[in-house]
Amino acid sequence: MPSPQIRPLDLADDATAAAVHRVGRAAYAVEAELIGFDGIPALGESLAGMRAQDLNWVGAVSEDGELAGFLAWEEEADGGVCIDRLCVAPDWFRRGVASLLLRHALTELFPGRPVEVTTGAANTPAVTLYERLGFTRGPDFSPTPGLTMASFTSV
């Protein structure tokens, strides 16, 4: 099966936004189980709330048009990038989609720029991904009781 292709996502398109919302909710439900915390903000985010975010979006889209995963980020005033979310549809887990999206972002979308990302510290697949792709782990932090987040940076 060929790898999905990376392309920009336009959340003004209803079908695209619905697909992104569906994939995000499914991916965050799995993360909630992994980290033992069901209060992930994006998990309860409405479609309208997701669309209202001031983010840039790219997706990994299969040959038949299925959204396998997506990455969303915001541009920082200092020229850096903050990855807001990196989600993969559960049917596409363990098939390289997150790596494909992240490598594309680092080499094509914001090469040489500082990049920040956080994930649940107990989300072993995500922690492993960021470390494997050369991110440096910073301090863990707890934004709310019961949740420990890991921070990563890359240049």
Low pLDDT (below 50) residues in the chain: none
- In whole angstroms, how far apart are CA 97 and each of 24, 60, 78, 86, 92? 14, 7, 29, 10, 7
Amino acid at 16: T
pLDDT score of 142: 94
pLDDT digits (tens, 9 = 90+) for 76-95: 999 999 999 999 999 999 99
Two structure tokens written together for 122: 């107990």
Two structure tokens written together for 33: 């189980």
Two structure tokens written together for 112: 């040489």
Cβ count near 126 (within 10 Å): 22
pTM > 0.85: yes or no:
yes
pLDDT score of 48: 97
